[in-house]
Amino acid sequence: MTRAIPLEAVLAVAAALFCIGLFGALSRRNLVGVLMGIELMLNSVNINLVAFWRYLEPRFITGPSFAIFIITVAAAEAAVGLAMIIAIYRTWNTVNIDSVDSLKG
Amino acid sequence: MDLLIQIIFGLLVALIIGAAMMVVTVRNVIHAALWLIASFFAVAALYLVLEAEFIAIVQVLVYVGAISILILFAIMLTRSSEGERLLTQHWWAAALISLGLFGAVLLPTLVGHTWNIPLPSGAPGTPETLSGVEEIGRGFVNEFVIHFEVAGILLTVALIGAIVIAFEERSRRRRVLTLSEEHILRQRQQATAERVSAVADAVD
């Protein structure tokens, strides 16, 4: 497997996925869309960790363990973020990020 | 064999990148969530190509099974008029930042860096020894035990926090009547209407 695909190819895929997720998180107007972009970014970090484990340190488990921890953090972040979105929707009756600007001053 | 793996890898990369592009560009949020699920599945398949079976299963269980369902529920609970615009005013700045990050920072770094990949040990042709789920389980009770406990506390705190944030007080909740309650209410209204008309007849 490591002969067929160079490490750089996997890392380039993860980098592209990260940049797409960053664009989504910065530019979507819908709050749920922002959260989806963040999920894409976390996914790309996981691809990086698994690729480094497979190519550089296949005997150690640091890569997969931290991938599992990142999945845990992503699940917690999604739960709290979606609860906040529902609370914001209840108060402002909107989920567009440019209408929720009462902290702007 | 190598060619087959390369073809599979190319198809998976096309699916991952294409689905992610659809997630950030498609107008309907529900469609974006469905494309996100496709992207998660493709990433799980990429983990299988990278021979990390346990991470692939966890990816399908947690991302496809839990997070996307949460996202779909949040979309359904917050349906509203989204307005004309899909992206924020300064979306071109965000596009510039992400394109610049990819083209000017990430790609030159990872191509220019020399990765010292260790040569496969053992006789040629034999499969490499990979650490599997057994080693992960052992690591969680030995060297990563603190991380494991912290992850448990984090999940508890996130659970409580999500409930506290999304909780709605009973007095402010919009009351939705059940069918039997609606029936009783209608009977009571009819009774009062009849009594009022009877009183009016008596006065006459």
CB A89 within 8 A of CB A95: yes
Chain B interface, mutation test: which of A80, A96, A100, most B Cβ atoms within 10 Å? A80
Residue B129 has a pLDDT of: 75
Residue B60 has a pLDDT of: 95
For residue A28, list its beta bridge partners.
B87
Decide if B158 is inside a domain: yes
Reading the block at residue A20, the tokens are 């797409």
Please, which pLDDT band fits residue B180 given cuts at 50, 70 and 90?
confident
For residue B87, list its beta bridge partners.
A28
Q: Indicate the residue of A29, A74, A97 with minimum beta-carbon distance to B86.
A: A29
Residue B11 has a pLDDT of: 96
Check whether B183 has a pLDDT greater than 90. Answer: no
Chain B interface, mutation test: which of A31, A45, A65, most B Cβ atoms within 10 Å? A65
Which value, in Å, is the radius of gyration of the alpha carbons in chain B?
A: 29
Check whether B22 has a pLDDT greater than 90. Answer: yes
Per-residue pLDDT averaged across B186-191, rounded? 89
Residues of B in contact with A42 (CB under 8 A): none
Chain B interface, mutation test: which of A3, A19, A94, most B Cβ atoms within 10 Å? A19
Q: What is the CATH number of the domain that holds B85?
A: 1.20.120.1200
pLDDT in tens, chain A (105 residues): 777 889 999 999 999 999 999 999 999 888 899 999 999 999 999 999 999 999 988 888 888 999 999 999 999 999 999 999 998 888 888 888 888 888 776
pTM: 0.84
Strand, helix or coil at B78? Answer: coil
Q: For residues A87 and A95, what is the distance between their CA atoms, to the nearest angstrom?
A: 10
B194 and B163 together in one domain? no
Containing H/E element for A11?
helix A7-27
B37 and B21 together in one domain? yes
CB A85 within 8 A of CB A96: no
Please, which pLDDT band fits residue B79 given cuts at 50, 70 and 90?
confident
B23 and B83 together in one domain? yes
Q: Chain A: give the shortest CA distance to residue B83, in Å.
A: 9
Residue B84 has a pLDDT of: 67
Residue B111 has a pLDDT of: 86
Residues of B in contact with A100 (CB under 8 A): none
Contacts of B16 (CB under 8 A, 6+ apart): A13, A17, B39, B42, B43, B46
Count how many pairs of residues, chain A against chain B, have C-beta atoms within 8 Å: 247
Instruction: State the helix-helix crossing angle for B29-49 and B68-77, rounded to 10 degrees.
Output: 180
Decide if B99 is inside a domain: no
B52 and B2 together in one domain? yes
B137 and B204 together in one domain? no
- Owner of token pair 């610049």: B100
Decide if B75 is inside a domain: yes
Residues of A in contact with B30 (CB under 8 A): none
B73 and B145 together in one domain? no
Q: Indicate the residue of A32, A40, A96 with minimum beta-carbon distance to B74.
A: A32
Check whether B27 has a pLDDT greater than 90. Answer: no
Domain range enclosing B78:
1-92
**CB contact (8 A) between residue A65 and residue B131:** no
Count the domains in chain B: 3
Please, which pLDDT band fits residue B88 given cuts at 50, 70 and 90?
confident
Window from A29-33, B39-43, B164-168 with minimum mean pLDDT:
B164-168
Decide if B138 is inside a domain: yes
Q: For residues A36 and B34, what is the distance between their CA atoms, to the nearest angstrom?
A: 11
